[in-house]
Structure 1
Amino acid sequence: MAECTTLESLMEMGFDRNRAEKAVAHTGNQGIERAMDWLMEHENDPDIDEPYAPPAESVLGSSEQQSSSESVSEPTECMTVFPLQNIEMGQDPKRPMTEEEKKEQIKRLEELMRVKQEERRERERQEEVEREKQRRKQGQELQQIRQKLQDDEMKKLADQRRREKMEDRLAKQRVKERIARDREERARKFGGGSSGTTLSSPTSDTSPQTPPENQGPPPAKKDYDECRIQIRLLDGSALTAVFKAQEPLAAVRVYVQMNSSDGQDFTLLSPYPRRVYTDLDMEKPLRELGLVPSAVLVVTKK
């Protein structure tokens, strides 16, 4: 009848009968404290309120066992209610407890449950503090990893910009050197042939003014390998330079950049016939663009 005592005590303390029966069965009817511990540990279980089905061999047993036990021990049941508490209070264990004794026992059990609940809440609070510490530690480690990846990416971008600037400087240096070589070649070429040009001019004056009647085929078009270009800048000044016919239009653009002080972005165009040169035209040779043997280009704002 100790089981019945534990069950009644739990029900008097406010626990549902179904939960009380489960607590008694799962703790093996080892006392009110064990049953209370089980209830507090499993109060959030999803199946805590499902109907309890005791096994056939359980102490609560089948109806036949209950009826037989009632027929045999019914007189004893009332005398064995709370036997341990009666002994502790110096009472005869065979005497049933009075209402005042039951209330006192319930009060002690409720106090015991309150203490256990406080202990459980303190334990859960400590566990929550530990989880929060772990979460913050993991967050700091993740932030450090992100910062390191960001620093590596910024370093990689800085290295790439330095390489691009170096390559751009080298490209401009190569263009500058090529322009200097072309100037030297033109200076040597035109410097040596100026006298021949001067001497040949009188000969052209003595040639007959009227062509012969039997004029042959027209002379073949001369294939120029150089181009003389006059460039009108934004400030109204002009530059004149000689380029190879096979040089791209980009060489003219670089020449303007090197000899212009405004530093503005610009584009090139031919005034007549009017044509604005695009980025694709910068890779084409001057001969293909029709700028040989001479041309005038105008610098305009982009």
Structure 2
Amino acid sequence: STEAIKPLTKEEREQKLKELKEQMQKKKALQQKQDSEELKERERLRRKAGQDMSEAKERLKEKEMQKAMEAKRREKEEDRKARERVRQQIEEDKRERAARAQTAAASAAAAAESAAASKPASSAPKTYTETRLQLRLPTGAPVVHTFSADAPLRDVCVFIRDHLGQPGIPVRLSTTFPRRVMSAEDEDKSLKELDLVPSAVLMVTVAL
């Protein structure tokens, strides 16, 4: 025969209820602990993802900076090479011009030497008896007049005063190439002595 289940006493029921509550509390505490750990893990993963992204951005920024610095370095190097090429070209041009000038000078010297060698030794320098002077007056067009090569410069001053109709005005004469201003002492010298033959241009300054 089946033995009848003995009903629990009051103390036994209370003990069972107590044990059941303790189990539920332990289960709840365990669940809370698991939830807290899961929350911490999710937060850790979120922070790690943010940190990884920040590090990736920093690496990208550093890489871009390196590329910019490298591009600037290449640009500076190209500029330096370009300036060096220009400097070398200038130096080469200088050397070529110097060589051409030296060659031209040597050719001119050789031509002059050849001309001097071919000139008859018996030929005497030509003697000029007259000179043709172009007088550039400040009052009008230039005046051209022929003077004796032995005439003093004073005669030219007299001619200018007569031409202007002002016998007493001061007259100053000068040459442009080579630049020379005639002095009062020069008025007693001949046009030949003053190298104003066979022709010359005189600038005339007067005090009207």
Normalised-by-shorter TM-score class: 0.3 to 0.5
What is the TM-score normalised by the length of structure 2? 0.46
Determine which structure has greater relative contact order: mean sequence separation of CA pairs < 8 Å that are 6+ residues apart, divided by chain length: 2
What is the TM-score normalised by the length of structure 1? 0.32
Bigger Rg, which one: 2
